[in-house]
Amino acid sequence: MDFERVDMDLMTEEELQESFRQSQLLFKLNHTMPMTPEYDEVLKELMGDNLGENSRIMAPLSGAALDKLVVGNNVFINSNCLAMARGGITIEDDVMLAANVQLLSNNHDEYNRNVLLCKPIHIKKGAWIGAGVSILPGVTIGEYAIIGAGAIVTKDVGDYEVAVGVPAKVVKTLDKEKF
């Protein structure tokens, strides 16, 4: 899969305004009492229709291009998530992300740092992402897969696989009959 190239110097006025709006909403979200109707309203304004039912995102949240972040139903995202979503991030139903997870769907061109190289991240149903994990551009995490705390995921992890380490390596496969 090739990277999609996004030249940040060529952003339209509308794209810039949307970026400012999202930054302001992130600030507001991160300074609103959690587990309140006001918090839920700000989160809904930020995420629009891209936040599934019974899903919870804990503050603080940071990132960019959050209009390209799609969160399914019954998802829990713990505090300090960084979602760099320019390349697209899809989180399916029943996923759990522990604290300090980084979802990095874009990187910078080596020679022109204002050019982003983007590939989507896809986290499939029931996956569990441990604390401090970084998932890099273009990675798919399979159904019910587990990524151990502190891992840096540079390659796809299959359904029911457990991956740990830097870079993440698969160490076992779970019994799918137990789910």
Report, as residue numbers or ranges, the catalytic residues: 108
Residues in the chain: 179
135: β partners: 103, 153
Place of tokens 């979503």: 85
Tokens of 173: 């496969």
DSSP codes joined into one string, 36-78:
SHHHHHHHHHHHGGGB-TT-EEPSPEEEE-GGGEEE-TT-EE-
What is the Cα–Cα distance from 146 to 150, expressed in whole angstroms?
12
* Planar angle of CA 92, 115, 108, nearest 5 degrees: 65
CA dihedral 69, 120, 92, 133 (to 10 degrees): -90
- At 36, the amino acid letter reads T
